[in-house]
Amino acid sequence: MDKPFEPACVFSERANQLTSSAIREILKVTERPEVISFAGGLPSPAGFPVEVVRAAFDRVLSTNGRAALQYGPTEGYAPLREWVAQDLNRQGAGGVTPDQVLIVSGSQQALDLLGKVLIDRGSKVLVEDPTYLGALQSFSLYQPRFVPVATDDGGLLPEALTPELAEGGRFLYALPNFQNPTGRTLNLARRQALVQQAARLGLPLVEDDPYGELRYAGEPQPGLLALGGQCGATVIRLGSFSKVLAPGLRLGYIAAPRAIIDKLVQAKQATDLHTPTLTQMAVHDIIKEGFLARHLPAVREIYRAQGNAMLDAVQREFPAQANWTRPEGGMFLWVTLPAHIDSQQLLGQAIAQNVAFVPGAPFYAGTPSRNTLRLSFATVPEDKIRAGIAVLGQLIKQQA
């Protein structure tokens, strides 16, 4: 028998520490059509404006095709950067200029670029506890020392950001709106306290806000970028068009002080030169005259209906010993089970009955709470939400 092919190369230390995403591994199982999957954090395809996107690409190619197919500036398509700056100022940021905006290939690239320019081996990076798994994976490539910041049902606790905890920190990474994985939202008082404390400590804040436009309950809150400008905090804001248009476009942005943007531009030049010009021009064509204001109410209604269906089902099917978040927007519920239940073991039992979710442990940078799990309702029809939650509820009751 022939020996398996062995590559004649030595992997770097960085490559050897790479691991697969826990979520991506679960999604391989959920490709089976009979599986009801609450695992993926994917936007609902029902909200993708397919014909609008098709028409925009057609217009750009027919009116300015040669420019759209050419190399472009690393910073991004100027009219799109102008639109982002104006939108942030409309939301209260005040004074953001286009040269403080970098267009990136999805906000996941933004995380990688920030890791490249802000993290050295052993650097202290503060994160919510729990936090977005994709950020932990991206930052981990640069071998930081993660320091969890305590949270409760209201999200990150500003008082937990002590001088001792923040000393030497490169930045604090936070998702203030409908956080992934918990669905929690920071209230105004906590936002104000957080940016004020960060300003006092000289600690930059990375505000990741991919879900902010998906609010379907409660009152909108000002962003950390807007609040930071009032007290002198350094805030680096990440945004994405994945949740408001379509993730396949792979388009996001970073807004930050000019000195940070300049360094990020240099890192991006070494990564991919620039984000695709054609995509940037088409997205600007779509949004430049107010399309999102007309489009997003229908998208929010999709998430509101499916989120409420899941909340109703969980209330009906889960035992009294379980607790869960009640998000005002976004895609996720976070469930805390009785302490003796390991959600990883529960996952195996659920998959055997064709239901999938994400165990909570991978979302922790420190000691994980193994009795937690994340449920996404974004891509699951209401009838399947009810059926899948009934299966999970029965499994949990058997162990409660």
In this structure, what CATH number is given to the domain that contains residue 79?
3.40.640.10
Last residue of a domain, one of 290, 310, 327: 290
Could you tell me which residues come within 8 angstroms of residue 244 by beta carbon, excluding any fewer than 6 positions away? 213, 214, 292, 295, 296, 299
> DSSP class of residue 187?
-
CB-facing half-sphere around the CA of 331: CA atoms within 13 A? 19
Which class for 308: exposed (0-12), middle (13-18), buried (19 or more C-beta within 10 A)? Answer: middle
According to the model, what pLDDT value does residue 32 have? Answer: 80
Is residue 59, in this structure, part of any structural domain at all? no
**pLDDT score for 68:** 98
Number of domains composing the chain:
2
**Look-up of token digits 């068009």:** 241
Q: Is 83 within a domain?
A: yes
Residue 6 in any domain: the answer is no
Q: What is the pLDDT of residue 40?
A: 85
Q: Is 372 helix (H, G, I), strand (E, B) or coil?
A: strand
* 116 and 261 fall within a common domain: yes
Backbone φ and ψ for 174, nearest 5 degrees, come out as -145, 150
Within-domain flag for 1: no
For residue 2, what pLDDT is reported?
Answer: 58
Amino acid at 127: V
Determine the Cα–Cα distance for residues 393 and 377; give it in Å rounded to an integer: 16
pLDDT value of residue 400: 74
Q: Output the domain CATH number for residue 375.
A: 3.90.1150.10
**H helical segments located in the chain:** 13-16, 22-29, 50-68, 78-90, 107-118, 133-140, 163-166, 188-201, 224-231, 258-269, 277-287, 291-317, 343-352, 382-399
CA distance 21 to 12: 19
pLDDT in single tens digits along all 400 residues of the chain: 556 666 678 888 888 877 776 666 676 766 788 999 999 889 999 999 999 999 999 999 999 999 999 999 999 999 999 999 999 999 999 899 999 999 999 999 999 999 999 999 999 999 999 999 999 999 999 999 999 999 999 999 999 999 999 999 999 999 999 999 999 999 999 999 999 999 999 999 999 999 999 999 999 999 999 999 889 999 999 999 999 999 999 999 999 999 999 999 999 999 999 999 999 999 999 999 999 999 999 999 999 999 999 999 999 999 999 999 999 999 999 999 999 999 999 999 999 999 999 999 999 999 999 999 999 999 999 999 999 999 999 999 999 7
Contact indicator for 265, 109 with CB cutoff of 8 Å: no
End of a domain among 271, 290, 309?
A: 290
Residues 313 and 372 in one domain: yes
Residues 178, 302 share a domain = no
Phi/psi region, residue 150 (left: phi>0; alpha: psi -120 to 50; beta: rest), is: beta
Q: CB-based burial of residue 247 (10 Å sphere; 0-12 exposed, 13-18 middle, 19+ buried)?
A: middle
Q: Shortest CA distance to 375 belongs to which of 337, 320, 319?
A: 337
Same-domain check for residues 339 and 368: yes
Assigned domain for 4 exists: no
Please identify, among 290, 309, 344, the residue that sits at the C-terminal boundary of a domain.
290
Query: For residue 394, what are its two tokens?
Result: 């029965």
| 227 within some domain | yes
Does 303 share its domain with 259? no
3-state secondary structure of 207: strand
Tell whether 107 and 242 lie within a shared domain. Answer: yes
163/270 same-domain check: yes
Q: Which residues pair with 336 in a beta bridge?
A: 323, 372
| pLDDT on residue 18 | 77
pLDDT at 298: 97
**3-state SS assignment for residue 266:** helix
238 and 364 co-located in one domain:
no
Same domain, 345 and 261: no
Q: Residue 248 is part of which domain span?
A: 64-290
Cα distance between residue 322 and residue 320, in whole Å = 5
In a domain, 2, yes or no: no
What is the rounded distance in angstroms from the CA atom of residue 368 to the CA atom of residue 371?
Answer: 9
Let me know whether 373 and 235 are in one domain: no
